[in-house]
């Protein structure tokens, strides 16, 4: 069953259970996936659907940060609950050790020795972590840390 089909099935279940928050989040997710399909002018494959969900999670995290800074803990809490629902459809995130190993292997493969090659290393590390929900910021921070001259 594809991710889109699973979301549709659970959206129906949320309607029957009258779970308002889950229903609203799933409608938003379904809408985002549909918009992406329209943009691509074809059905999404599972990898594209996962990338769309990761984008939604990233947007929610930024909102949580902004709401927290603005003293709106009620809105920050709502966004955090939305993140939890969306993340339930994502594969597990890689551990720090897995990210470190992927970055080290990517550096060895690309023979990178400076921050100028950071893009190539990130691309290679992402390929090694395919199938996992990778936080792009955490990955780029790890690559920067490994490629930075030790002074």
CATH number for the domain harbouring residue 131: 1.10.10
Range of weakest confidence among 7-11, 83-87, 90-94: 90-94
- Based on the structure, what is the number of domains in the chain? 2
Residues 78 and 112 in one domain: no
Among the candidates 49, 67, 87, a domain finishes at: 87
Among the candidates 67, 87, 107, a domain finishes at: 87
- Distance, in Å, from the CA atom of 46 to the CA atom of 8, rounded to the nearest integer, reads 14
CATH code for position 27: 1.10.1510.10
Domain that holds residue 80: 3-87
The 10s digit of each residue's pLDDT in 100-119 is 888 888 888 888 777 788 88
Q: What is the b/e burial string over 105-133, where b = at least 16 CB atoms within 10 angstroms of the residue's CB?
A: ebbeebebeeeebbebbbebbeebbeebb
Residues 82 and 103 in one domain: no
Quote the tokens at residue 141.
């921070």
The 10s digit of each residue's pLDDT in 11-47 is 999 999 999 999 999 999 999 999 999 999 998 887 7
- Distance, in Å, from the CA atom of 131 to the CA atom of 70, rounded to the nearest integer, reads 35
User: Are the CB atoms for 88 and 50 separated by under 8 Å?
Assistant: no
Residues 77 and 100 in one domain: no
pTM over 0.85: no
Residue in this structure with the two tokens 């080290």, named with its chain if needed: 104
What 31-34 contacts at long range (C-beta under 8 Å, 24+ apart), as own/partner pairs, is 32/56, 33/4, 33/7
- Distance, in Å, from the CA atom of 136 to the CA atom of 58, rounded to the nearest integer, reads 9
């Amino acid at each position: 069953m594809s991710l889109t089909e699973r979301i549709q099935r659970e959206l129906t279940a949320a309607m029957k259970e009258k779970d308002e928050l889950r229903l609203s989040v799933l409608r938003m997710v379904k809408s985002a996936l549909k918009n992406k399909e329209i943009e691509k002018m074809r059905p999404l494959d599972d990898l594209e659907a996962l990338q769309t969900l990761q984008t939604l999670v990233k947007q929610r995290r930024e909102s949580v940060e902004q709401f927290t800074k603005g003293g709106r803990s009620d809105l920050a809490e709502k966004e955090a609950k939305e993140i939890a629902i969306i993340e339930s459809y994502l594969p597990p995130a890689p551990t720090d050790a897995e990210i470190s190993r992927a970055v080290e292997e990517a550096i060895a493969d690309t023979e990178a020795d400076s921050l100028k090659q950071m893009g190539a290393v990130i691309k290679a590390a992402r390929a090694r972590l395919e199938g996992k929900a990778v936080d792009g910021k955490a990955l780029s921070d790890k690559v920067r840390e490994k490629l930075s001259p030790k002074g």
